[in-house]
Chains A and B, each alone.
Chain A
């Protein structure tokens, strides 16, 4: 084991949950998640991928609640390729076919502390109108070959997407040895509260 005074990796622990989503038009959705990270990262413990239960909207609230826990620890030597959480939401369409309802990704927050992220979701658009129709009819919407595509910038220019809804994820981040390695992610400042600009004027 390495001595704690002389570490060669730093650790990033992510606890949190996929709290829920806001898809106004759809119901009975489930969510898949996975992480995308660079070469210098490796998960040490925890689930790298997961799939949530199917949840339906209640009559009171229009939110979809999953409350699906996330728990993973990464070790890394290089902040480049910081892990990203990729979520994709699926659900049945009119005919009962399982179709994708949204893709989205967010970086795991850098700073220790609690964070909430609202991930805007989108789906790729069919190239043709006709394809849109047949896709709707046959229940085969365009999908990304790999959901991890949304975590990278390369090649996205060839796609067209439509925005679709939001997924809310909360994170509790812990890091170890980051500062020792010379990476100062800064304190999680409570200054966010301050920025509540008094919006008197509409």
Chain B
């Protein structure tokens, strides 16, 4: 045996048992405690098994083997010590097989009998004993690693056993759960479906899944709540519709033959068809015909059996009978007759026979005439009686037929009710006859009397005639004969006929024969009336009879099957066009078809005919049975009020059957006498009416539209639609719904059930709502919501209204929201129209300011919108793919020295705004040096003394003062006109706690950099100290200033360069001419250049400049191809020369992208300029005019780094604009003046960043104009502020500078050279002829001198301000000086601030004598008052505190056309020496 490693079975057992337990423990973590217990219980037999298994040698099977060849001790020793070489596989196999068997056996034996087990154990011990004894020694001999490693066979558990074990451990949820488990105790499953309730179709779930789910649910706590009464999981009905709601989409493009492409044609209204248009008030009026086809009944059909024929006949007769009964004509007539009789009798009684006047007699005769209603009554009565008789006869026939054929085919049954009161009946009958006889008698009597009277009259006549005859005879003569004759006459009148000769002798009328009359009356009565005592027969037809089932009447089967095969539908033809058709309904056994469909026909055409065609379908073939022409209803007939009409139809088809069906035509004798030929016929019940629109307006055409002949033929009884409510009778629907016992669960009925609900009270909503539950979800009404201040605040913030964009802490409670919050906002809304002129002195400018504000708002809104569109670059920072060049540089960098001798400025890390707090941001200003500062002039007469004075005297002691946000810092004082300070100034920056980009962008503050001259004066100290001390007083004299808006610094992040100092035209007491310097260059520079200040500005830490709004996102009216080309052009330009700006498309004020060349167009300058200087070069004038329009950076006005280009007329209206607007206007003026001019897009020093200048070409060369200052420079001027030339623009093209050096000095402006200038429009992409956005002509408002005069008030304001700034010192004004200064100013304006020599000072000096004068004129374009005050304040004139100082101030406003104003402020301080 190979069980060498099996050292201690007990140990192994324990180990395995432990392992098993551990494993189980792990497994059972998620299991319930109960199961764990169970497993532990089950572990018991398992362990026993294990034991048995591990003790391999002990089974009975083995034992037999063992017994067969029991090894000796030696053998055993050998066996254990011998090192077997590869074990024979057969043996292994054998053992394994053995084992398997054994295991099977063990399984079998398990629990069989303990006795055997015990025996086995005993055996085992006896087996083991010799082995165990030697064990220790054995192992001591050879300790191979295998000895310590436990080698075990892979555990195998027999499948069945495993299944059994698994069953204990695992839970298989897919077995069927009994219903009783799923229901509460003692409850039987209830199947709603069987109870007739609608339960809907359950969604299909496979049985396995359902079982799994149910078992899981059952294991859950409260699992039972998931089960319905029927023991199934509660499920909603299958929500999937059988047909898809969305029609399938077919992608037609691509695989469609181009010839078959559909072409869109606008739908045209056919004028011919649209008959309503003629005369109708509203051609768009929609008219709607409602055609209600309710059903049809056949009165004869080929498939009728004989019984059917009779039955339909019976039904017809019965219907007739009913209608007759209903009308009750007989009764009416009888009543009438009685009434007449009474009236007549009364009349007779009152007046008697004698007093009968003529009129009375007339009336009586009339009444008598009326009495002949009796005859009418008699005929009616006769008809009634015959009808009744035929009803009974037909019924008898039916009965006979049924008897004969031994089955019934129709459910009809006729009951005859008898109703008799013999006595009264007899009396009535006799009375009636008597009355009639009397009447007849009276009548005949009257007749007789009349006739008699007539007769008498005739007789008289006759006698007269005879007498005449006789007189003739008398002449012959017999008197006796006369009397005889008379008697004879009498006789003759009684008996004989007329006379043959002459007028016939009238016959006397016959006496009426009363007896015969009575006889006749009785005869008639017996014919038309019931005999007295005969039962009054009231027929009652009921359809309650049962029809013999088909099985019982084999003859019928074929017919009935044929019937069931038939189905009918009705086509609706409107104006001979089929508009709709009903569903096909099968013919029922009683030859009725119910459609119950209403068709709403929206009609445009005039209705001519409405035709319902009845079609019969047999199988797939259908045939037209009949047509029913329905009259077009009156406009007054509207849906709801129109009753359903029955229209009879018949067909002339001929059909014969070989079965019981009678076929058509059928000759039929109903009652023996008259032959009837029956054709297929029937009644169609339908109703055509006009629809009702909203508010109950009938959708009928006006009455005047007489559609056709069919119209007036048919009129409804007016009574039938009196009381029509005009709407659907909701109550009836409700009644019907309750009566018909609808299934409330059926979703089809929900809408009706909703109506019926609420205690049967049916109210129809007169509106339609998509979300009819909306109101339930509203927790507060809309009005209240509107009123809520808090909600309003939240909403406004969400809308990003400027006041609330960054509003923090919206109060939680309504009451905490103060009304003040909205004040600003409401005020702004209100101020939209009102113009406040207080701030602006000038109403026009106020208007413009408002307009600007509006544009700003609209643009800001646009930006806010655009801000919510993100691009990848906004969210993700990603390295650009480096080109090889950059890669190479990066590699090269690795070899770079760590500390280079010429270090380069390193990029600082940018800081996002959210990390900032107050005081973190500082504005760094490095004031490096200045050039060419004006120097002091010697005082008084002694000044002009030559070079020794010059050397001894201090020229100028300048220092720089920087003020920003009212923080003022200054450098140390340097010496000389070319000082070098090299000082860094740190100014704190406080943007009011809001560090968001938008707020930083909208900071309007400017950095004022002023150059002052520090002047020391020795003031004579008073009194006794005169000898010992010197008092010096420091005065600072303003020399010039540089203004840099914060927005520029922010957007550029650093500004570095030499700025031209804005110096006044005249500086009293200073001169630019550096007397001592002899260099030619200096001379030239001093006259030409002016003062320059080299500065470096930046913000510490570096802020992330506001994201530029992508202009491309704005829509454009440009051609798409042009825009793409422009984008490509710009991209290529940026790749080639990243530092050269290139602009091809710009954004106009409405936020649309416009191609730049559209802005360039010759435009007229104000006519005054052309007139004033007809010969002079007018360029300077117009340039000055342009420069006088105030500059307003777009960043400030539009709080976003986006350039908006306004057209020239907009610019002149706004009177504020960026440099590009100035440049465009100037360029357009130059073009008008006939110059060659271009816009130059490049970078310049003061503006820093892309700016626009104007280039002109003259005989003498190229000139570059600064449009904001009005100054021009030669192309070769080194002091030209333009640093790089990016591109040139004129009306035709854009040229991009591809030259090596972009500075204007080195640029060749010959745009024809394509190796230097790259044109946008070239041969490959020609100019598409872009029209200009500029107006054709500019219209200027004339010079408004009155407005200018008004503005002189500025002087007063400034004086007040200066006094205000000097609170502790008295401010004295030198009036004399004031007036003098005032005189200078107009001259300055005329000379445009140039060429004014030292005249002013000398003049003043002459006038004032011993004053030390320092002063200067300031020149500003007028926009508002505030900048003027700021400018005056920044000069610091008011800071002179010496005791005897006097001031002088003069203001001059010069008006230009279009309200452009040039403001001059002359400031001077005078100190008496």
Residues on A lying within 8 angstroms of B by beta carbon are 8-10, 39-40, 42, 77-78, 80, 124, 126-128, 130-131, 134-135, 138, 140, 142-146, 149, 154-159, 181, 194, 196-201
Please give the number of chain B residues whose Cβ is less than 8 angstroms from any Cβ of chain A in the complex. Answer: 38
Contact status A140-B876, CB under 8 Å: no
- Of all A-B residue pairs in the complex, the 4 with the closest CB atoms, nearest first, are A155-B870, A77-B812, A142-B878, A140-B879
Q: How far is the CA of A157 from the CA of B876 in the complex (A)?
A: 12
Q: How far is the CA of A164 from the CA of B879 in the complex (A)?
A: 21
B881 engages A131 (CB within 8 Å)? yes
Most A CB contacts (10 A, CB to CB) among B219, B807, B809 go to B809
A145-B875, A201-B212 are known contacts. Are A158 and B809 too (CB-CB below 8 A)? no
Instruction: Assess the B810–A39 pair: CB atoms within 8 A.
Output: yes
Contact B809 A77, beta carbon cutoff 8 Å? yes
Complex Cα distance, B890 from A155, in Å, reads 33
Q: Is B874 an interface residue (CB 8 A)?
A: yes
Cross-interface CB contact of B876 among A145, A154, A181, A196, cutoff 8 Å: A145
> Is the CB–CB distance between B879 and A156 below 8 Å?
no
Chain A residue with the shortest CB-CB distance to B797: A39
**Chain A residues within 8 Å of B812, by CB:** 8-10, 77-78, 181
Residues in B with CB closer than 8 Å to A154 are 868, 870
Which residues of B are found within 8 Å of A198, using beta-carbon distances?
A: 30-32, 216, 219
B171 beta carbon closer than 8 Å to chain A = yes
Given the complex, which residues of B lie within 8 Å of A146, measured CB to CB? Answer: 912, 914
Q: Is the CB of B881 within 8 A of A128?
A: yes
Q: What 1/0 mask marks residues of chain B from 1246 to 1260 whose CB sits below 8 Å from any chain A CB?
A: 000000000000000
Residue with the highest number of chain A CB atoms closer than 10 Å, among B173, B807, B882: B882
In the complex, chain A residues whose CB is within 8 Å of the CB of B877 = 142-145
Whether A159 and B881, one on each chain, are in contact in the complex, defined by CB atoms closer than 8 angstroms, is no
New A-B pairs, 20, CB < 8 Å, besides A155-B870, A197-B220:
A8-B811, A77-B809, A77-B811, A124-B876, A131-B878, A131-B879, A131-B881, A135-B879, A142-B876, A145-B876, A145-B877, A155-B869, A155-B874, A155-B875, A157-B870, A158-B871, A181-B813, A198-B31, A200-B171, A201-B171
Point out the residues of chain B lying under 8 angstroms from A143, CB to CB: 876-878
Closest B-chain residue to A128, C-beta based? Answer: B881
Residues of A within 8 A of B68 (CB): none
Residues of B within 8 A of A194 (CB): 221
Say whether B875 contacts A138, CB under 8 Å.
no
Question: Which of B809, B812, B816 is most buried by chain A, counting CB atoms within 10 A of its CB?
Answer: B812
Contact of A158 with B912 in the complex, beta carbons under 8 Å: no
Residues A39 and B808 in contact, CB atoms below 8 Å apart: yes
CB atoms of A127 and B878 under 8 A apart = yes
Contact of B808 among A40, A140, A155 (CB under 8 A): A40
15 contacts between A and B (CB under 8 A): A39-B809, A40-B808, A42-B808, A42-B809, A77-B811, A78-B794, A131-B879, A138-B890, A140-B879, A142-B878, A146-B912, A146-B914, A149-B875, A200-B171, A200-B173
Residues of B within 8 A of A157 (CB): 870
**Alpha-carbon separation in the docked complex, A134 to B884 (Å):** 12
B806 within 8 A of partner (CB): yes
Chain A residues near B219 (CB-CB < 8 A): 198
Cβ of A48 to closest chain B Cβ, rounded Å: 10
List the B side residues contacting A8 at CB < 8 Å: 811-813, 816
Taking a contact as CB atoms under 8 Å apart, the answer to whether B874 and A138 are in contact is: no
Chain A residues positioned under 8 Å from B220 (CB to CB): 197
B1397 within 8 A of A: no
Q: Is the CB of B273 closer than 8 A to any CB of chain A?
A: no
Q: In the complex, A194 Cα to B173 Cα: how many Å?
A: 20
A9 (CB) vs chain B CBs: closest residue: B812
Majority secondary structure of chain B interface residues (helix, strand, loop or mixed): loop
B173 lies within 8 A of A134 (CB): no
A22 to chain B, nearest CB (A): 21
Judging by beta carbons under 8 Å apart, are B879 and A134 in contact?
Answer: yes
Q: Which residues on A sit within 8 Å (CB–CB) of B914?
A: 146
Task: Report A-chain residues with C-beta under 8 Å of the C-beta of B221.
Answer: 194
Instruction: Give A49's nearest chain B residue, CB to CB.
Output: B915
> Cα distance A77–B882 when bound, in Å?
49
Q: Who on chain A is nearest to B815 by CB? A: A8
* CB nearest to A78 among chain B residues: B810
CA distance in complex: A127, B32 (Å): 52
Task: Tell me, in angstroms, the Cα distance from A144 to B875 when the chains sit together.
Answer: 5
A127/B809 in contact, CB under 8 A: no
Measured CB to CB, the nearest residue on chain A to B915 is: A49
Q: Determine the residue in chain A with the shortest Cβ distance to B807.
A: A39
Residues in A neighbouring B173, C-beta threshold 8 A: 200-201
- Quick check: is B1443 within 8 A (CB to CB) of the other chain? no
The residue that B882 contacts in the complex, of A124, A126, A134, A155, with Cβ under 8 A, is: A134
Q: How many angstroms from the CA of A39 to the CA of B804 in the assembled complex?
A: 11
B1-34 contact mask (Cβ, 8 Å, vs A): 1 or 0: 0000000000000000000000000000011100
Nearest CB in chain B to that of A6: its residue:
B813
Residues from chain B with a CB closer than 8 A to the CB of A140 are 879
Is A138 a contact partner of B797 (Cβ separation < 8 A)? no
B703 within 8 A of A: no
Contacts of A135 in B (CB 8 A): 878-879
Bound state CA distance, A201 and B812, in angstroms? 50
CA of A131 to CA of B868, assembled, Å: 27
Distance to closest chain B CB from A1 (angstroms): 16
CA distance A33 to B981 in the complex (A): 46
Contacts of A145 in B (CB 8 A): 874-877
Contacts of A80 in B (CB 8 A): 794
Measured between beta carbons, the chain B residues less than 8 angstroms from A42 are: 808-809
Bound-complex Cα distance A198 to B221 (A): 11
Q: Which of B868, B879, B881 has the most CB of A within 10 A?
A: B879
CB distance from A42 to the nearest CB of B (A): 7
Q: Please name the residue on chain B nearest to A198 by beta carbon.
A: B219
Cβ-closest chain A residue relative to B870: A155
How many Å lie between the Cα of A156 and that of B170 in the bound state? 47
Cβ of B521 to closest chain A Cβ, rounded Å:
100
Q: How far is the CA of A39 from the CA of B872 in the complex (A)?
A: 26
A162 to B870 Cα, complex, angstroms: 20
- Assembly CA distance A142 to B808 (angstroms): 33
CA distance in complex: A181, B876 (Å): 40
Nearest CB on A from B44, distance (A): 24
Residues facing A in B289-333 (CB within 8 A) are none
Q: Which residue in B31, B810, B876, B879 is a CB contact (below 8 Å) of A144? A: B876
Cβ 8 A contact of B875, one of A158, A196, A201? A158
* Contacts A42-B809, A201-B173; A138 near B882 (Cβ below 8 A): yes
Within the complex, the shortest CB–CB distance from B1229 to chain A, in Å, comes to: 45
CB neighbours of A127 from chain B (8 A) = 872, 878
Complex alpha-carbon distance, A78 and B173, angstroms: 49
CA separation between A181 and B220, bound complex, in Å? 38
Contact code string B137-173 (vs A, CB < 8 Å = 1, else 0): 0000000000000000000000000000000001101
In this complex, the member of A10, A128, A146 whose beta carbon has the largest number of chain B beta carbons within 10 angstroms is: A146
Assembly CA distance A182 to B219 (angstroms): 39
What are the residues of chain B within 8 A of A181 when measuring CB–CB?
Answer: 812-813
Closest to A10 in B: B812
1/0 per residue, CB under 8 A from A, across B809-839: the answer is 1111100100000000000000000000000
Closest Cβ of chain A to B1134, distance in Å, is 20
Q: Is the Cβ of A40 less than 8 Å from the Cβ of B875?
A: no
Task: Say which residue of B170, B806, B878 sits within 8 Å of A39 (CB atoms).
Answer: B806
**Closest Cβ–Cβ distance, residue B892 to chain A (whole Å):** 15
Query: B170: which A residues are within 8 A, CB to CB?
Result: 200
> Of the candidates A9, A134, A155, A200, which one forms a contact with B881 in the assembled complex, judged by CB atoms under 8 Å apart?
A134
Task: Give the contacts of B866-917 with A (CB-CB under 8 A).
Answer: 868-872, 874-879, 881-882, 890, 912, 914
**A1 to B173 alpha-carbon distance, docked (Å):** 63
Q: In the complex, A124 Cα to B877 Cα: how many Å?
A: 9
The complex places the Cα of A13 from the Cα of B458 at a distance, in Å, of: 136
Inside 8 A of A149's CB, which chain B residues have their CB? 875
Contact B810 A40 (CB under 8 A): yes
Contact B875 A156, beta carbon cutoff 8 Å: yes
Contacts of A201 in B (CB 8 A): 171, 173, 212
User: How long is the Cα–Cα vector from A145 to B914 in the complex, in angstroms?
Assistant: 13
Task: Tell me the smallest distance from the CB of B39 to a CB of chain A, in Å.
Answer: 14
